Chain A
Amino acid sequence: MSRGSILAVSAVAAVGVLALAPFWGMEHVPLAALWGGTDDYTKIDILWKIRLPRVAMAFLAGAALATSGMAFQAMFRNPLATPFTLGVSSGASLGAAVSIHLGLAFSLFGFSSVAWFAFAGALGTVVLVYGLTRARRGFSTATMLLAGVAVSFFFSSLILFLQYLSDFTRTFRMLRWVMGGMDNVVGFDDVLGVLPFVVAGILILVYLTHELNLITTGEDLAAARGVDVDRTKMLLFFAASLMVGAVVAVCGPIGFVGLMAPHICRLLIGADHRYLTPATLLFGGAFLVLCDTLARTVLAPTELPVGIITALLGGPFFLWLLLGRSSEVELA
């Protein structure tokens, strides 16, 4: 199959998943609820206030996590890089933990206090990691990777410390937040809040298609081919971090999508970002919609955190990647 047709098939599959997922669940919702062609207002509410926003959010989150994972893997030339490698998720989690620990409960522009604190935590981490890297002059990816990992560990310890200090209920809320999930998405407010970040981030990645290709061949070679390497890395870093920050603020750190989706797409379609970026976007989005649908149906009426599903599917995949496909892992 040519790369074009693989892309077309993924697009069709993604649209299929998006079309079916809202109607799949414990409560049967008729198609007519879409245009209000039913008298059962509960069904219309379930569709419009719960299922559709949730599916939309899952798609946005999946697309954002997958494409930023792809960008970081390219930028660091490291197949194990994820959107969280640079500490965005631990920063967001710390923000959320602080908010929960303080028992804050406000809502601003449709976002909860936890989401605001998480977003601030994510942004703070991005600025901190960038600043630490810059402090050593230049813009070395190795320094950045190490700074990210160090900040990540530090924040994780702070989170544990806060959990230790907090009472049982709050500790549980923190723990639950860190598992990630779309279960608190109600109505389109969250979706509309995250949308501009994700769209802007993905547009920047698309704008940098040629540069992404070249930077995977090595920074030296990219520079020799005429790429302004520092500018490219800075744009990639901020584009990816901002969209991940926005997504994590609402959904918590959902693991493995950002690691897995780009790899699967690279296996299917190759490393050329002209095809890889759209494929990763579609696959990541559709995959998370699917996982979230499973999360809310397998144990219905209880909901599983979607992070558990992605990790259960992602863990074995990760091992397979590590042990089976030796040629890929040589990159590390």
Chain B
Amino acid sequence: MPASHPLRRAAQAGATLLCAALGGVGAAGAATPQHAQPDPVLETYRTTGDQVAQRRHAWSLVARLTRTTAPGTDPAFTSWPDEDEVFANAGQDGTGAVPARAGAHASAEAPVITRTFYNDAAAQHIRRHRLHERASLERLRSQGPADEQLPGMRSVPPFPAEAIVLKTAWWPVAPQGLAPLPVWDPGLNAVRRGGTDHTRWSRVVALDPMPSASGPVGPAGSAGTTGPARLEFAGRAFPAARRIPLDATYHVVLDGPQAARLMRDARSNKAARLVLGRPLVAGDVLALVAVHLATREISNWIWVTLWWHDTPDAGGFAAGRPAGLAAPWRHYLLDVAFDAVLPTTREGKPHISFNPWLEARFPDGGQGGGTVSNCLACHQRASYPSVGFLPVTRGAPQLTADPAFAAGQLRTHFLWSIPLRAAGEGMIPPPATHRSIPAE
């Protein structure tokens, strides 16, 4: 792992915003123009609901973002600043610091480890307009520019077309032994009204950190060291979990400072203890299980979501994957949203685009749960002060019923991280005496 790796860089105190920008992104196959305006071709993809074209563009984004300059190096996005760098000093601007929520770990959810990365255009926009400071957000509530889409509302200054934000979700794996990794199979998981988090998914695979022991990915049921393994996870036994080499995932090995830093984050801490039965330590591995990718190429942003699967060539979420996409990225399925409504489902309902790792756990608040959600439909509600991203809403903004659009709310241009960070959520506290993570 190079010194620029995000998890290594995140461990460095006082990191600056010196980052390598990916550069502009444009319509599929185009050069990389630094266009200032949303792309009209992509806007056409949105208005026509052309899913084939949307997916083609989404995969091209993934191909560019995951490209490496040499074997063994990390993709470009891994050099971008993360939320702790971009939002450094949030809440310390004289308006009353809001510490990280002490009760964050009191949640009864089963978290995964998440980190969000911002390319240069996105990071600089946040810092230039001081969107990491509550005082700025308060000022913009009354003096900010008129929102481009919703008359009567104010917004933070619109992000440039080159802005990209990437939310990543990671699964902790010990360096020895088989690790259970839940796999989302849409047809096999009964959707429950209260949410369907990964602790109840119907299947797990056995991630094997020793590639020589696993060999190539083969069908379940084969014999020997490549055959199925017996595993337990979340109180359930899986007698024939398919064995998969860790190399089938994009993964990183943690060093001591990285592990220590993640353990100061309540959600990461809980995630590690739930999966490993102990805190993270140097040598542990994080396997990438999910990605949300948002690019500001059109007014609504484009929302691409990826999740890992052991049979990634089957089904509609594999459609359009470019043949040249490098391993291990070929193990990720993809969905995309250009619009909150289009293209509609076969039943004529608003478009669905969700990530099982990040949204399947959302309960049904009346309009359906996380498995009928749409990244864009959620992120169009992002506003300050934060009203929370639940319940799941579907389709166009519900202007009169939704407090996210109430008078006085400042739209944060589709980014939840702005209001949530202003509220002190997700901030990793400085080093302190080790604390346990009680449930309450």
A binds B: no
